[in-house]
Chains A and B, each alone.
Chain A
Amino acid sequence: MIGEDSLPVTSYWKDVVRRFCKNKIAVIGLIVLCIIIILCAGAPLFTSYDPVVDMDFMNMLAAPGSEGHPLGTDDLGRDIWCRLLYGGRSSLITGLSVSLLAAAIGVVIGLYSGYFGGVIESLLMRFTDIMLSFAFLIVAIAIMSVLGPSQRNIIIALAITSWPRFARLTRGQVLAVKNSEYVEAAKVGGFKNTRIIFRHVLPNCIGPLIIQGTLSVGGAILSAASLNYLGLGADAASPDWGMMLSQGRNYLQTASYLTTIPGLAISATVLTMNWIGDGMRDAFDPKMRK
């Protein structure tokens, strides 16, 4: 390497932020996501209706652009824009919670099974494979019947069905990293295994995990929708993008906007999460320093 004095020196986190900001698409994604979050979190500020009770019987199934209802109304006269904003809260919280919970469980399992190998790995991975082979729906229904239907239980059920993917991914990454010389050096340095796993191995595996994390947010939103549709979630009246999507299916021919609007909201969120995920993965990689 040449030019020892050519690069300015900054702290790790400042460097991460700087690298992230250089990625225009990631920044756009972040901005859009922030807008979405602000709109949904501050829903009462942006709409005067109530998403559940306010039903405008005069204007049922009004098309977007109608007076007083910029995005139209659904079959019960509820304002779509309003339900979109409130529904966003539910969907976003579900998506993010599922992703974080599944990651927390799956990554730890993947780390330990990959690092220690042997019997531990066999046991953990067989368990993971078994979990993977169950269709999420069946598991979810099973869990629901035990815990009862609610949004919180949806999150738990989906997390339980999503962690195996994180576990396998992490394990694969760990296998690649654990035989690196710097990990060996850490062992020779006398560090405890826990420290080696979390400070030396994990940071070098994190790239694909971030991507998986962001992808699973979108997946969770959609899966939650199915569960809500089946009545396993909270009551059908309370807003949720997935719910809206499913309910609009009956009106695909006549009022397709009932499906397309929440569909676009989901897509937009998933897309921005992907962009952010890519940006974060690159930002954490010191080799991409320019």
Chain B
Amino acid sequence: MKDEKNILKIEDLKVYFPIKKGVLQKTVGHVKAVDGVTLNIRRGETLGLVGESGCGKTTIGRSIVRLNTPTSGRILYDGQDILSLKGDDLRKIRRKLQIIFQDPYSSLNPRHTVQNTITEILTVQMGMTPAQAEDRMEELLDQVGLNKAYALRYPHEFSGGQRQRVAIAKAIALQPEFLVCDEAVSALDVSIQSQIINLLMDLKGEYGDMTYLFISHALNVVEHISDRVAVMYLGKIMEFADNEELFSHAAHPYTQALLSAIPILSGRKARERIILKGDVPGAAHIPSGCRFHTRCPYATEECTKKEPELKDIGNGHLVACLKV
């Protein structure tokens, strides 16, 4: 059944990758990239998903667009479980869920010109004639701010920012309803980053309020663009709240540490610096109890034994911490 408010619902998603060793490739353990994530994304919002490397945010993004196979859990898009779809049904739903990758240098086929790339999508997936496709391609290039003279160029002839624009044009060619931005601006120079961020914000409005899942480790970018934010650590969500609430009243120690690491640039009030001790444990050896306890400045004995659940501390602000 369709949920009017939430366009995407992730229910207890687990994505485990087996670790194989030895000649016979026996499975000796699992990398628990995503270890039980439940998340509801509202129609038309921009949900920021933050965390450091290995936290599972990219894995979730890829699961949504069916680029990996989750171990268990459901992902409901408009009420439909997309993880169980196959063949033509899957292909039909793919139109609605698109992704922009981080690396503008590898997400475009080096042997296809921009024209090839975009018109292929339009003719094959949208059923346009070549003439229609070419017109629409010019429209799309215009929307992403690329001169249509570049259509016959190859990817390697473009700069990083231009390539990312092509990737965006490609993604919106299908008129998706849901766009996963997987570190879409992280590999770009600052001045190009701002252009692409502006572009993403503009496009959202133009396309009838697309929903964005904005995955990034750059908290300041997430703060600028997101409506609500989820913070992940080692495969689970640690905190989830409205943008303003999270950035001004972060409750989880990990979030607080992350925020304190945001540069204190002119005009912002200085945060107390919290330096975490130790390194991020590998996702193959998740600590017992609360997985953050090995680095947490407030950890106690209880934290090593019991794994905290996400609980609501008011106004939809969710925190997974025993101390809160």
Contact = CB atoms under 8 A, between A and B. Distances in A.
Nearest to B151: A9
B271 to A, nearest CB: 36
Interface stretch (B15-23, B40-48, B98-106): B98-106
Nearest to B111: A203
Contact of A287 (B98, B99, B156): B156
Contacts of B111: 203-204, 284, 286
A181 B107 contact: yes
A286 B66 CA distance: 31
Contacts of A126: none
Contact of A7 (B67, B153, B167, B170): B153
A190 B91 contact: yes
A281 interface: no
Contact of B101 (A12, A181, A289): A181
Contacts of A129: none
19 contacts: A1-B162, A4-B147, A4-B150, A7-B153, A181-B101, A181-B103, A182-B106, A185-B101, A185-B167, A188-B67, A189-B121, A189-B174, A190-B94, A191-B124, A191-B125, A203-B112, A204-B109, A204-B110, A284-B111
B159 interface: yes
Contacts of B125: 189-191
B321 interface: no
A195 interface: yes
A184 B159 contact: no
Contacts of B181: none
Interface string B100-144: 010100111111110010001100110000000000000000000
Interface in A184-206: 184-192, 195, 199-200, 203-204
Given A185-B99, A185-B170, A191-B124, 16 more contacts: A1-B158, A11-B152, A12-B113, A185-B101, A185-B107, A186-B109, A188-B97, A189-B94, A189-B170, A190-B92, A191-B120, A195-B124, A199-B120, A203-B109, A203-B112, A287-B156
Contacts of B106: 180-182
A188 B64 CA distance: 10
Contacts of A145: none
- Chain B's interface size range is 35 or more
- Chain A's interface size range is 20 to 34
Interface string A1-20: 11011010111100000000
Interface in B169-192: 170, 174
A181 B184 CA distance: 13
B311 interface: no
Nearest to B117: A182
Given A189-B121, A195-B124, A289 B157 contact: yes
A83 B150 CA distance: 55
B103 A188 contact: no
Interface in B78-92: 90-92
A264 B91 CA distance: 56
Nearest to A286: B154
A9 B153 contact: yes
B98 A188 contact: yes
B152 A10 contact: yes
A185 B147 CA distance: 23
Interface in B255-297: none
| 8 A-B pairs closest in CB distance | A190-B94, A181-B107, A286-B154, A182-B109, A203-B111, A190-B91, A1-B159, A181-B106
Interface string A255-290: 000000000000000000000000000001011010
